[in-house]
Amino acid sequence: MKLARFFAVLFTAGLALLPILLLTVYSFAQSWFWPSLVPGRWSARSWAYVLSDDSGVFAAAGSSLAIAAAVSMLAVVVALPAARAVAWYDFPGKRLLLFLLLLPVLAPPLAAAMGVHSVFLRTRLVETIPGVILVHLIPAVPYAILMLSGSFSRLDPDLEAQARTLGASRFAVTRFVTLPAIAPGLAVAAAFAFLISWSQYQLTILIGGVRVLTLPVVLVSFQRGGNEAITAALSLVFLIPTLAVFVAVSRYLRYET
């Protein structure tokens, strides 16, 4: 049994690491043609360009990090009361409300974004960072609600009532009772919202246009340009925050699964 589990873990890790290994090889390959199993010529020119100021990668990565961090915080703030209501209260139209809250997950986010595009044009949010943040919230908030509603469903509401009975203020109840109890769900919800925003390309292009350059936008532009070495190097840079977020919240995943 232990041997089977070991091979299962090894197989899963191999599937996860193989694409990263191939990207690493591609990023250092100056020429690699079929049927050669390894590149014929090696070069670090792609990394030299990606890490230079001329590539614009650092500026795009900074924009992506700032936007994703803002989306993560706002998604959690917006999702908290909705998740609390869905988990704890029964009221007429609850299923309809839940369906409407999760509609952006069920429908393509691009369809919802097209619906708000005209509104963003009138309010001059197109080609602005606040506009991109708001449109990223469309797919991020439903996932945050799903994660947090699960955490609230495992929290007994009587704990808050007991704290208030003992004289705790509303702020103290939230600070010392509610938030610590749902901390794993908060971490996972914030991580999901961050990763959803970090990986957005279509919504960013639709609302941000050419003025809001994020890392996915730069990555896709190089991929369409046909430079495989630079695309591979950028893909590895793109993966770094994703892996960092996963490692940071991995200890909380067992509470939410």
Is residue 175 within 8 A of residue 104, CB to CB? The reply is no
- CA distances 217 to 134, 157, 198, 202, 231, Å, are 17, 44, 11, 9, 12
Question: Picking from 17-21, 61-65, 171-175, 249-253, which range would have the lowest pLDDT averaged per residue?
Answer: 249-253
Residue 137: band (very low, low, confident or very high) from pLDDT cuts 50, 70, 90: very high
Query: Residue 256's pLDDT is what?
Result: 54
Average pLDDT over residues 81-109: 79
Q: What is the pLDDT of residue 75?
A: 95
Reported as a pLDDT band with limits 50, 70 and 90, residue 1 is: low
Burial class (CB in 10 A: 0-12, 13-18, 19+), 227: middle
pLDDT of 164 higher than 90: no
* Inter-residue contact 109 to 203 (CB < 8 Å): yes
pTM confidence score: 0.86
Share of the chain above pLDDT 90, in %: 18
Decide if 71 contacts 136 (C-beta within 8 A).
yes
Q: Give the pLDDT score at 233.
A: 87
Residue 30 main-chain phi, psi, to 5 deg = -85, -35
As a whole number of angstroms, the distance between CA 173 and CA 48 comes to 53
Q: Which of 45-49, 226-230, 251-255 has the lowest mean pLDDT?
A: 251-255
Residue 253: what pLDDT? Answer: 64
Rounded Cα distance between 27 and 5, Å, is 33
Residue 106 confidence class, pLDDT cut points 50, 70, 90 = confident
Report d(CA 91, CA 110) in Å as an integer. 31
- Number of CB atoms found within 10 A of residue 34's CB: 5
Copy the structure tokens of residue 116.
């708000």
**Does the pLDDT at position 133 exceed 70?**
yes
Structure tokens at 31: 């020429």
Domains (ranges, CATH) in the chain?
1-43 (no CATH), 53-256 (1.10.3720.10)
Q: How far apart are CA 134 and CA 206, in angstroms?
A: 12
Q: Which residues, including other chains, have CB under 8 Å from residue 47's CB and lie 6 or more apart?
A: 27, 28, 233
| The pLDDT value given to residue 36 | 67
What pLDDT does 255 receive? 52
Per-residue confidence band for 197, with pLDDT thresholds at 50, 70 and 90: very high
Residue 172 confidence (pLDDT): 85
Q: What are the DSSP E strand ranges found in the chain?
A: 29-31, 41-42
Specify which of 3-7, 12-16, 137-141 reaches the highest per-range mean pLDDT: 137-141
The predicted model gives 137-159 an average pLDDT of 86
Residue 49: CA count within 13 A, CB half-sphere: 15
Quick one: which H or E segment has residue 1? none
Bond from prior residue into 35 cis (ω within 30 degrees of 0) = yes
Tell me, what's the pLDDT at 16?
Answer: 76
Residue 254: pLDDT above 70?
no
Q: How confident is the model at residue 250 (pLDDT cuts 50, 70, 90)?
A: confident
